[in-house]
């Protein structure tokens, strides 16, 4: 309750903008590439030239940079009217974004109009507002979100053994499955798809911890006032800032699932080639119809990254020394045994990899069978058995045999480890 009350914008006088006028900042040489400039297709004119201290839409004052992506920069801002801090995701100009922009917004609208009482609603990133700002090279969409602390990926890297402790993983999984149940059942959405790319997925980067401690934001502001961010300053007035980390909150919020830019609606038969290579579900690789069960497969693969210190599947082909679908299928077969005939029948490209009898084509290098039991090396006894049983509920060739997100949220390994 206390954290809810802290988050509500209280009526009262609007905050006044702060003067971020300390000119005692370190300049980064112009020839040194930093942050978003490091993307191979970076074009300065696509990005809105944000300046720390500026106020967008007469309401949101930029305090500092939180991060960047291929199509956006993310900023901590003071919501002057709402008297709270928010994260602004400022996209590259709308012309470069095309349909993707409207798509992401329509997914957030769907989330916000779906059943608010569902327990998974709180476990997905909330959109507070959205607006457009005009820049020198066009219009830019800005999404307003609650600020979040670091991602599960960054958290993982803090741990020298690069493996999450069981209770932390169980807590994250419980929230993730509640979020997926909400998306699958209430919103009829599939998270891990991708309309025109294979970029978005359920991965540690897309699960971020909340913040229940406002002192984190005032500390960030104080740092910007007293030790302004390092930056590059160009002759045309543009600046590129280095991101600044939010300090560790005294009270963390529960994790939330982010990034709905490439989610799709589960309202028709899907056959598109989606998901990043290592998380591709068997039905996607075989070009069989797929549905929200690909999110469950993806989650099973991600658990391995968080808990076992490496990818479950790599799809690295010995002959071609790169990712190949056939190598990926062979790895899955080594773990789960041969695929069911019904799945092969429904896949448009099954014939490329399998004979009519359901055997791998003779030119395939099929690795020897290594069951899941042999690959799990961290746990012992009943806890290990429960963990493996949970993994088997996700890692099934046949999508229909995978458990639903709702069932997995109540899985015994999760409930005994929280
Ligand atoms: N709500 C938030 N609170 C705090 N930091 C955030 C928030 N949203 C994003 N970030 C930071 O900004 C970075 C980029 O954000 P985001 O995950 O939205 O972009 P992306 O999906 O990687 O990129 P893009 O959508 O531009 O391709 C993140 O890695 C994170 O560090």
172 lines ligand 1 (CB under 6 A): no
Q: Shortest CA distance to 90 belongs to which of 100, 106, 75?
A: 75
Of ligand 1's listed atoms, the one at least distance from the Cα of 92 is 26
72 lines ligand 1 (CB under 6 A): yes
Q: Tell me, rounded to whole angstroms, the distance of Cα 360 from its chain centroid.
A: 34
Instruction: Tell me if the pTM is above 0.90.
Output: yes
CA of residue 302 to ligand 1 center, whole Å: 19
Give the closest residue (by CA) to ligand 1 atom 24: 69
Residue 5, pLDDT score:
52
67 lines ligand 1 (CB under 6 A): yes
178 lines ligand 1 (CB under 6 A): no
Q: Shortest CA distance to 233 belongs to which of 24, 23, 27, 22?
A: 27
Residue 380, pLDDT score:
95
Q: Which fold has domain 149-211+264-418?
A: Transferase(Phosphotransferase); domain 1 (1.10.510)
Name the residue with tokens 């990034």.
Answer: 259
Catalytic residues: 213
Contacts 24+ apart (CB under 8 A), 385-389: 386/412, 386/413, 386/416, 387/413, 389/413
Cβ atoms of residues 14 and 83 within 8 Å:
yes
Q: Shortest CA distance to 77 belongs to which of 100, 102, 105, 51?
A: 51
- Report helix angle 293-307 to 381-394, nearest 10: 140
71 lines ligand 1 (CB under 6 A): yes
CA of residue 403 to ligand 1 center, whole Å: 30
Give, for ligand 1, the residue of 41, 60, 69 to mutate: max count of ligand atoms closer than 8 Å to Cβ: 69
- ipTM of the complex model: 0.96
Q: Say if 1-147+213-250 and 149-211+264-418 have the same CATH topology.
A: no
197 lines ligand 1 (CB under 6 A): no
Convert the chain into a string of H (helix), E (strand) and C (coil): CHHHHHHCCCCCCCCCCCCCCCCCCCECCCCCCCHHHHCCCCCHHHCCCCCCCCEECCCEEEEEEEEECCCEEEEEEEECCCCEEEEEEEECCHHHHCHHHHHHHHHHHHHHHCCCCCCCHHHECCCCEEEEEEECCEEEEEEEECCCCCEHHHHHHHCCCCCCCHHHHHHHHHHHHHHHHHHHHHCCEECCCCCCCCCCCCCHHHEEEEECCCHHHHHHHHHHHHCCCCEEECCCCCEEECCCCCCCCCCEEEEEECCCCCCEECCCCECCCCCCHHHCCHHHHCCCCECCHHHHHHHHHHHHHHHCCCCCCCCEECCCCEECHHHHHHHHHHHHCCCCHHHHHHCCCHHHHECCCCCECCCCCCCCCCCHHHHCCCCCHHHHHHHHHHHHHHCCCCHHHCCCHHHHHCCHHHHHHC
87 lines ligand 1 (CB under 6 A): yes
CA of residue 382 to ligand 1 center, whole Å: 38
Of ligand 1's listed atoms, the one at least distance from the Cα of 72 is 26
Tokens for 3, please give them. 């954290």
Residue 162, pLDDT score:
86
Cβ atoms of residues 406 and 177 within 8 Å:
yes
Residue 110, pLDDT score:
94
Please check if 203 is assigned to a binding site.
no
Give the closest residue (by CA) to ligand 1 atom 28: 67
Integer CA distances (angstroms), 93 to 52, 101, 108, 135, 241, in order: 19, 10, 20, 8, 19
Q: Tell me, rounded to whole angstroms, the distance of Cα 38 from its chain centroid.
A: 20
66 lines ligand 1 (CB under 6 A): yes
Domains of the chain, by residue range, sit at 1-147+213-250, 149-211+264-418
Residue 8, pLDDT score:
56
Of ligand 1's listed atoms, the one at least distance from the Cα of 71 is 26
Residue 408, pLDDT score:
98
CA of residue 389 to ligand 1 center, whole Å: 34
253 lines ligand 1 (CB under 6 A): no
Of ligand 1's listed atoms, the one at least distance from the Cα of 68 is 14
CA of residue 68 to ligand 1 center, whole Å: 6
CA of residue 327 to ligand 1 center, whole Å: 32
CA of residue 417 to ligand 1 center, whole Å: 29
201 lines ligand 1 (CB under 6 A): no
Integer CA distances (angstroms), 408 to 145, 171, 185, 204, 251, in order: 28, 12, 14, 18, 27
Give the closest residue (by CA) to ligand 1 atom 14: 68
Give, for ligand 1, the residue of 36, 42, 60, 74 to mutate: max count of ligand atoms closer than 8 Å to Cβ: 74
CATH number of 1-147+213-250: 3.30.200.20
Give, for ligand 1, the residue of 89, 140, 216 to mutate: max count of ligand atoms closer than 8 Å to Cβ: 89
Give the closest residue (by CA) to ligand 1 atom 19: 69
Q: What is the pLDDT along the chain (418 residues), one digit of tens a residue?
A: 445 555 555 567 899 999 999 999 999 999 999 999 999 999 999 999 999 999 999 999 999 999 999 899 999 999 999 999 999 999 999 999 988 888 889 999 999 998 778 999 999 999 999 999 999 999 999 999 999 999 999 999 988 888 999 999 999 999 999 999 999 999 999 997 654 444 567 899 999 999 999 999 999 999 999 999 999 999 999 999 999 999 999 999 999 999 898 899 998 899 999 999 999 999 999 999 999 999 999 999 999 999 998 999 999 988 889 999 999 999 999 999 999 999 999 999 999 999 999 889 987 777 788 889 999 988 999 999 999 999 999 999 999 999 999 999 999 999 999 9
Residue 305, pLDDT score:
93
Residue 314 neighbours by CB distance under 10 Å: 13
Integer CA distances (angstroms), 125 to 13, 81, 183, in order: 28, 22, 12
């Amino acid at each position: 309750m206390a954290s809810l009350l802290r988050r509500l914008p209280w009526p009262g006088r609007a905050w006044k903008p702060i003067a971020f006028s300390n000119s005692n900042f370190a300049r980064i040489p112009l020839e040194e590439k930093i942050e978003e400039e490091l993307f191979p297709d970076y074009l300065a004119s696509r990005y809105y030239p944000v300046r720390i201290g500026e106020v967008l839409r007469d309401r949101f004052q930029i305090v500092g940079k939180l991060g960047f992506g291929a199509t956006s920069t993310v900023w901590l801002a003071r919501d002057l009217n709402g008297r709270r801090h928010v994260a602004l995701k400022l996209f590259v100009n709308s012309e470069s974004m095309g349909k993707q922009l409207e798509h992401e917004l329509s997914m957030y609208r769907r989330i916000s109009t779906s059943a608010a009482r569902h327990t998974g609603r709180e476990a997905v990133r909330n959109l507070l507002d959205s607006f457009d700002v005009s820049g020198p090279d066009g219009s830019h969409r800005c999404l307003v979100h609650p600020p979040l602390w670091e991602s599960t990926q960054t958290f993982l890297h803090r741990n020298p053994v690069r493996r999450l402790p069981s209770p932390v993983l169980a807590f994250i999984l419980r929230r993730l499955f509640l979020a997926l149940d909400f998306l699958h059942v209430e919103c009829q959405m599939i998270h891990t798809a991708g309309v025109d790319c294979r970029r978005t997925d359920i991965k540690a980067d897309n699960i971020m911890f909340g913040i229940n401690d406002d002192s984190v934001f005032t500390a960030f502001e104080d740092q910007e006032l007293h030790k302004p961010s390092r930056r590059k300053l160009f002759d045309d007035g543009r600046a590129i800032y280095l991101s600044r980390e939010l300090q560790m909150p005294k009270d963390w919020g529960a994790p939330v699932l982010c990034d709905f830019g490439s989610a799709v609606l589960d309202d028709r038969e899907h056959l598109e080639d989606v998901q990043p290579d290592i998380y591709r579900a068997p039905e996607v690789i075989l070009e069989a119809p797929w549905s929200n069960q690909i999110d469950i497969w993806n989650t099973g693969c991600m658990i391995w990254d968080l808990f076992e210190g490496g990818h479950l599947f790599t799809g690295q082909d010995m002959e071609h020394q790169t990712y190949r679908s056939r190598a990926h299928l062979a790895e899955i077969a080594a773990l789960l045994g041969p695929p069911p005939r019904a799945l092969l029948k429904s896949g448009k490209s099954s014939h490329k990899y399998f004979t009519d009898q359901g055997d791998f084509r003779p030119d395939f290098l099929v690795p020897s069978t290594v069951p899941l039991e042999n690959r799990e090396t961290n746990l012992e006894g009943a806890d290990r058995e429960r963990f493996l049983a949970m993994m088997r509920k996700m890692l099934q060739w046949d999508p229909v045999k995978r458990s639903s997100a709702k069932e997995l949220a109540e899985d015994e390994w999760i409930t005994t480890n929280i």
